[in-house]
Amino acid sequence: MAALASSSSSSLLFTSPPSKLPSPSLYPLPRFSLPTSSFLSSSLSISPSSLSYPTASRRHSASSFTVRAAAAGKKKVLIVNTNSGGHAVIGFYFAKQLLGSGHEVTILTVGDEGSDKMKKPPFNRFSEITSAGGKTVWGDPADVGTVVAGATFDVVLDNNGKDLDSVRPVVDWAKSSGVKQFLFISSAGIYKPTDQPPHVEGDVVKADAGHVGVEKYIAEVFSSWAIFRPQYMIGSGNNKDCEEWFFDRIVRNRPVPIPGSGMQLTNIAHVRDVSSMLTLAVEKPEAASSNIFNCVSDRAVTLDGMARLCAEAAGLPVEIVHYDPKAIGIDAKKAFPFRNMHFYAEPRAAKDILGWEGTTNLPEDLKERFEEYVKIGRDTKPMKFEIDDKILEALKVAVAV
Amino acid sequence: MAKLVVLQPTKQPPISLLSSSLSNGTKLCQIQVTLFTRGKAPVTQQLPGESDSDYSDFKSKVLHLKRDRQDSEFVKSSLSAEGYDVVYDINGTRLLASNSQYRFICLKPVSKRCQYHTLHDCILFCCINLKSDILPHCEVDAVDPKSRHKGKLNTESLLETSGVNWTSLRPVYIYGPLNYNPVEEWVFHHLKAGRPIPIRNSGVQITQLGHVKDLATAFVQVLGNEKASKQVFNISGEKYITFDGLAKACAKAGGFPEPEIIHYNPKEFDFGKKKAFPFRDQHFFASVEKAKHVLGWKPEFDLVEGLTDSYNLDFSRGTYRKEADFSTDDMILNKSFALQS
């Protein structure tokens, strides 16, 4: 053990250099009664109240970081967007947020404008993009140059491809046409399952996952790139059911069958948080460059917890029933919309590097989601629950008729 | 010379480690560490791997005030007479539990310029925070005003109103060599005996362990640190762990083969007063991101490294705090055997 260091001045103990970090009194109070986990780490933060943010807005004035959003400059952004699935809504929010911040946006949706897929949200709300000054086009990403009619862009976000075949043409075209920054929506699903949650950036991924090949290729071709790995999302305009799966059962007074113990952790973010992280990357390209970001909420929720929160949002009781899918011969992937295991990533890189803060507050956000659920009449829509019935039959659980 | 006093209950995280970290802290000039305990246990312990000369050197520098902290007059007079600059209060509830007036007395001699650091015992931390479906616990989360472990919570609010410069550190489960709480030791006993590890319910419950050395580092980093003033910090490992995962990690740490794990439903048994399992049967983990961002603190150990450190310096040398007791195991095993046959 080292000997005590001697010194002539005991006051050394109590002086600190003037702190460049904001003083503790600026530590933001939670806006809601439930955890937000926001704490001082950086300069730029976004209020969740609306989707259009002036680029210079920030909540804290003092900061040890000198980056300013206003210095980012106006960008021309192309979003290559999938035409279905859980990630479709990302492009919608991102487009609107960029437009609100004064950037130029084109969104290229895969397929045909006239296809049936375009009748579903968020596509049936694309007027919100065009009325804000954005351009909407349709086509095959393999022909992206033609589809955008020779336009050039500063930034491209590929929110479509899951493997190299579908993304490579976009990457190659972007490089050759002078795009400076390439962003890619990957997936937190590529992390190798672990006993030690959470998944953090840098953890081992499944080598054979399609997204992994894409991530590698982008990093080889571009010098300014960023990868985003999301999990599940809620938000108006979602193309895929999330909370609705719980509401459907709760409003009809049906038991909610959850595989396993119900204690599995998952991560459900409001899509506005996903969008704000992407926007930060566009506005802080140097900081974002060459980084992987878990594009998720900063809190986990258990599967049982999600059922309970949905019920609370609906103001109704809930009966949760657990089952072992293997024991009763059920494919849990078909029966239940979330992974039957701990699946929880944390957005540490975004907080550390971009100064991003999450605003997702499930108890509050689900109330808003339930209001819309009722508004569109889904609570009275006739529905069949064939797989549920199979499960409940096997468990001999009675269902209200 | 700065003077530190550590208010120290008998049960403690290895206080020697904390004290030596305090005296070795890089920012510190000269610190005199006084340990204030009831004197029931020796205040210093030679750390495994520590040389005899280093230990006697440290021991000679530690002053011991031996009196029960319930003896309020003694505390008041000695604390004020000595003019301590820093008070480390490990386990704030005991003070409150005795007598709130006493508590106030204790704070009084601690001058405003003094820093007051509280280590909240992990079990109390758990009770303080609301049981939640949303995790991890973060410092801003609402705390449960109805918790029977009011002591810790009131300590923090008392500190806030006292005008004293304070910092509160919240660990989850502490582990490491000389751990007073048989956490990893419980698993090591099973592994050494070649017994299956009985784990309550699904085994996917998530907990979190923090190495005591990393906690000691945090203690030092908050000393004289303006950024720590009047702040609460969670201090533990950067990654969480499932119960099943912890059994496997301990096996790895000790060089044992992958363990057999048996899950059981505790409701099917009556263990009486015996604790069949050393962890709370719920998710219990906290985010340490605030300490990382604000203090620049970072744990040195990952879980397997830390458990290996604990195993090599403690259990593998034949030392442990609690004798192995497999009586509840046998109840569980007999039942599963009966079910199978």
Beta-carbon separation of A4 and B303 below 8 A: no
Check residue B182 and give its pLDDT: 80
Q: Name the residue among A12, A195, A300 with its Cβ closest to that of B248.
A: A195
Using alpha carbons, select from A151, A13, A20 the residue that is nearest to residue A79.
Answer: A151
Q: Over the stretch B149-176, which tens digit does the pLDDT of each residue have? A: 444 556 666 666 766 677 888 888 889 9
Check residue B35 and give its pLDDT: 64
pLDDT at B95 over 50: no
Left if phi > 0, otherwise alpha if psi is -120 to 50, otherwise beta: which for A187? beta
Q: Name the residue among A14, A21, A195 with its Cβ closest to that of B244.
A: A195
Beta-carbon separation of A16 and B223 below 8 A: no
ipTM of the complex: 0.79
Task: Give how far the C-alpha of residue A386 lies from the chain's centroid of Cα atoms, to the nearest Å.
Answer: 31
The answer to whether A25 faces chain B, any CB pair under 8 Å, is no
Alpha-carbon gap: B159 to the closest alpha carbon of chain A (Å):
16
Q: A242-261 burial, b for 16+ CB within 10 Å, e for fewer?
A: bbbbbbbbbbbebbbbbbbb
Q: What is the pTM of this model?
A: 0.81
Return d(Cα B307, Cα B250) in angstroms, integer. Answer: 6
Average of per-residue pLDDT values in chain B: 74
The answer to whether A35 faces chain B, any CB pair under 8 Å, is yes
Q: Name the residue among B204, B238, B246 with its Cβ closest to that of A261.
A: B204
Beta-carbon separation of A10 and B29 below 8 A: yes
The answer to whether A70 faces chain B, any CB pair under 8 Å, is no
Beta-carbon separation of B135 and A299 below 8 A: yes
Return d(Cα B215, Cα B171) in angstroms, integer. Answer: 8
Alpha-carbon gap: B338 to the closest alpha carbon of chain A (Å):
21
Beta-carbon separation of B242 and A40 below 8 A: no
Count Cα atoms within 13 angstroms, Cβ side, for A47.
12
Return d(Cα B24, Cα B30) in angstroms, integer. Answer: 9
> Are residues A365 and A234 in contact, defined by beta-carbon separation less than 8 angstroms?
yes
- As a whole number, mean pLDDT of residues B293-309 equals 96
Residue A233 neighbours by CB distance under 10 Å: 28
Return d(Cα B114, Cα A343) in angstroms, integer. Answer: 45
- As a whole number, mean pLDDT of residues B32-54 equals 68
Using alpha carbons, select from A343, A36, A315, A302 the residue that is nearest to residue B133.
Answer: A302
> Are residues B92 and B61 in contact, defined by beta-carbon separation less than 8 angstroms?
no
Task: Quickly state the pLDDT bin for B281 (edges 50, 70, 90).
Answer: confident
Count Cα atoms within 13 angstroms, Cβ side, for A142.
5
Beta-carbon separation of A19 and B226 below 8 A: yes
Q: Name the residue among A37, A260, A265 with its Cβ closest to that of B206.
A: A265
Q: Which of residues 258-277 of A touch B (CB under 8 A)?
A: 260-261, 263-265
Helix or strand run (H / E) with residue A155: strand A155-159
Comparing B314 with A280, the larger pLDDT belongs to: A280
Q: Over the stretch B186-242, which tens digit does the pLDDT of each residue have? A: 999 999 999 999 999 999 999 999 998 898 888 888 877 889 888 888 999 999 999
Peptide bond just before A198 cis, omega within 30 deg: yes
Q: Over the stretch B98-119, which tens digit does the pLDDT of each residue have? A: 333 333 323 333 344 455 555 4
pLDDT at B329 over 50: yes
Both tokens assigned to A138: 């349709």
Q: Which of residues 12-51 of B touch A (CB under 8 A)?
A: 20, 23-24, 27-31, 50
CB contacts < 8 Å between A and B, how many?
A: 145
Domains of chain A: 13-393 (3.40.50.720)
Check residue A158 and give its pLDDT: 98
- As a whole number, mean pLDDT of residues B299-311 equals 96
The answer to whether A61 faces chain B, any CB pair under 8 Å, is no
Check residue A238 and give its pLDDT: 97
Q: Name the residue among B30, B132, B245 with its Cβ closest to that of A7.
A: B30
pLDDT averaged per 10 residues in sequence order, chain A, 401 residues: 36 35 36 36 36 37 42 88 98 98 98 97 98 98 96 97 97 97 98 97 96 97 98 97 98 98 97 98 97 97 97 98 95 96 98 97 97 98 97 82 55
Comparing B185 with B60, the larger pLDDT belongs to: B185
Q: Report how far apart, in Å, the C-alpha atoms of B120 and of each of A267, B154, B215, B301 are.
A: 29, 12, 11, 21
